[in-house]
Copies of this chain bind each other. A is one copy, B any other.
Amino acid sequence: MDAAYADLKERLGEIHDLQKTRALLAWDQQVLMPPGGSGVRAEQIATLDRIAHTTFSSDEIGRLLDRLESFEADRPYDSDEASLVRVTRLDWEKARRVPAELRAEMSRASSLALPVWAAARQTSNFALFLPLLRENLELRRRYIDCFDTYDEPYDVLLDDYERGTTTAEVRAVFERLKVDQVPLVAGATREGERPGRDRPFPLEAQRQFELQVLERFGFERASWRLDPTVHPFASSLGTDDIRLTTRYHEQNLDGLFASMHECGHGLYEHGVSRSLERTPLARGTSLGLHESQSRLWENLVGRSLSFWRFFFPRLRDTFPEALGDVELEDWYASVNWVQPSPIRVEADEATYNLHVILRFELEQELLAGSVEPAELSEIWNARMLDYLGIEPANDRLGVLQDMHWAGGHIGYFSTYALGNVISAQIWERIASELPDLDAQFEQGEFGELRDWLTERLYRHGRKFTPKEMLERIVGGPIDPDPYLRYLGTKLATLT
């Protein structure tokens, strides 16, 4: 019996190696690769995906899982061993439904689409991107056809990112957010000049300042990297090889918030128990839980007054030309400035969810065929006007801004707003258990927060479903109220 477990673990270790190697292929492609490499890179990624999928969805894995039924039942639900068998069984049953060739086609299509998307975005040329979007949608329809147990087709896509969460559940949360947030945004939108914008922020100084912040969060040079890219992301190539990417703007500090955001993802991956290394549990529970951590470190920490009480004097010393005439209170208002804008990743906390809800709705309409890909740009712009009161000047600032649909990640966006909602639920819990946190932030100390999150969330990796995990931390299901409370309170202090 133990031999079967050791056998399963070794096979899963190899598959994990392939997946982490695949993550390096993708990281390299987005950070460093010369463009000439894209053709063979797509083949390399497709090959690794195919081998990983074929090895994982094999009969042998199924037989080992069968043999391990009583092994699993004999062990505590939250043990490494029972969790590995339980989660692997769910993964395996799902993987068995998808032919290896379809998997390979999906990954090849997304590798080939990424450079085309980048070119289309650069030139704001939606027509260039359109055939790839059609192909990715068609591939997702074929993917959905592999399954039969769902209420709505979109459930299948959502389940890949947020296991066990249905479209109906997300819709209920989002409807509530929309009802409250659309008028909230209209009321909280700031007029006048935003302090500390359009000033010179030399890039190398930004990088040095960011590293100071990230190192206080937990970034260590022995196990982390920070590199520039087009669309920031975080990647874990191993629990002690965490790669953050960011982008810098010469005239503002938006890049700092992108870096804090990605650092939240990195802290989660880095905090997973070393006993889970090289297993499929060595990553975050779900994208929603993951995003709750990036948003927590970016917003609940990085846009708090206590955080800036510590860092603002240092920031002003670093950028005297840009910030010499700016006071802490102005800066705090600036980093929490509510103003509808076209780009999701630069959106403030009040408008961000509306960007996501727009995509969540459009994805379902595209899949159902009630929106044609060719008319997407027009509908995108019209809906931006409805929800945010603005229209993007071009597709670069509109439908082409994000890489997700080029990468085939349809169903992914909603996890961003779920992350916001969950971050506030967890934050209310933390605030009740660590009442001293603001005082610590004012001293530049974030260790107690990181330790709390590691103990309650990070170390468990992917042992539990998102619902189980949230229940363990906050004692209940997903709930938009804490986020709306947090937002209401913060905006009230700012206007």
Question: Measuring CB to CB, which residues of chain A are less than 8 angstroms from any residue of chain B?
Answer: 13-14, 17-18, 20-21, 24-25, 28, 32-37, 39-41, 43-44, 47-48, 50-51, 220-225, 237-242, 277-278
Q: How distant is the Cα of A494 from the Cα of B43 in the complex, in angstroms? A: 52
Q: How distant is the Cα of A43 from the Cα of B25 in the complex, in angstroms? A: 16
Residue of B nearest to A50 (CB): B14
Contact of A44 among B21, B40, B43 (CB under 8 A): B21
Q: How distant is the Cα of A39 from the Cα of B21 in the complex, in angstroms? A: 14
Contact A33 B278, beta carbon cutoff 8 Å: no
Q: How distant is the Cα of A48 from the Cα of B239 in the complex, in angstroms? A: 19
Contact of A237 among B40, B47, B237 (CB under 8 A): B40
Q: How distant is the Cα of A42 from the Cα of B223 in the complex, in angstroms? A: 15
A395 vs chain B, min Cβ distance (A)? 26
Contact B13 A222, beta carbon cutoff 8 Å: no
Contact A238 B41, beta carbon cutoff 8 Å: yes
Closest CB pairs A-B (n = 7)? A37-B241, A36-B240, A36-B223, A40-B238, A17-B47, A17-B44, A14-B47
Q: How distant is the Cα of A50 from the Cα of B28 in the complex, in angstroms? A: 23
Contact of A37 among B32, B34, B37, B238 (CB under 8 A): B238
A336 vs chain B, min Cβ distance (A)? 33
Q: How distant is the Cα of A33 from the Cα of B24 in the complex, in angstroms? A: 11
Q: Contacts A21-B25, A24-B28 hold; do A224 and B44 have CB atoms under 8 A apart?
A: no
* Contacting residues, chain B, for A35 (C-beta < 8 A): 222-223
A144 vs chain B, min Cβ distance (A)? 28
Q: How distant is the Cα of A224 from the Cα of B34 in the complex, in angstroms? A: 6
Contact B223 A51, beta carbon cutoff 8 Å: no
Contact of A34 among B24, B34, B48, B223 (CB under 8 A): B223
Contact of A241 among B17, B36, B224, B277 (CB under 8 A): B36
Residue of B nearest to A13 (CB): B43
* Contacting residues, chain B, for A44 (C-beta < 8 A): 17, 20-21
Residue of B nearest to A239 (CB): B40
* Contacting residues, chain B, for A224 (C-beta < 8 A): 34
Q: List 7 A-B contacts (CB under 8 A).
A: A13-B43, A18-B51, A34-B223, A36-B238, A37-B237, A37-B238, A40-B237
Contact B278 A34, beta carbon cutoff 8 Å: no
Q: How distant is the Cα of A220 from the Cα of B48 in the complex, in angstroms? A: 28
* Contacting residues, chain B, for A47 (C-beta < 8 A): 13-14, 17-18, 21
Residue of B nearest to A240 (CB): B36
- Other 7 A-B pairs with CB < 8 A, given A17-B48, A21-B21, A37-B237: A18-B51, A20-B44, A33-B237, A34-B223, A35-B223, A40-B278, A41-B241
* Contacting residues, chain B, for A221 (C-beta < 8 A): 34
A11 vs chain B, min Cβ distance (A)? 11
Contact B24 A43, beta carbon cutoff 8 Å: no
* Contacting residues, chain B, for A28 (C-beta < 8 A): 24, 28
Residue of B nearest to A14 (CB): B47
Q: How distant is the Cα of A24 from the Cα of B25 in the complex, in angstroms? A: 8
Q: How distant is the Cα of A314 from the Cα of B373 in the complex, in angstroms? A: 54
Q: How distant is the Cα of A50 from the Cα of B17 in the complex, in angstroms? A: 12
Residue of B nearest to A242 (CB): B34
* Contacting residues, chain B, for A21 (C-beta < 8 A): 21, 25, 44, 47-48
Q: How distant is the Cα of A283 from the Cα of B363 in the complex, in angstroms? A: 45
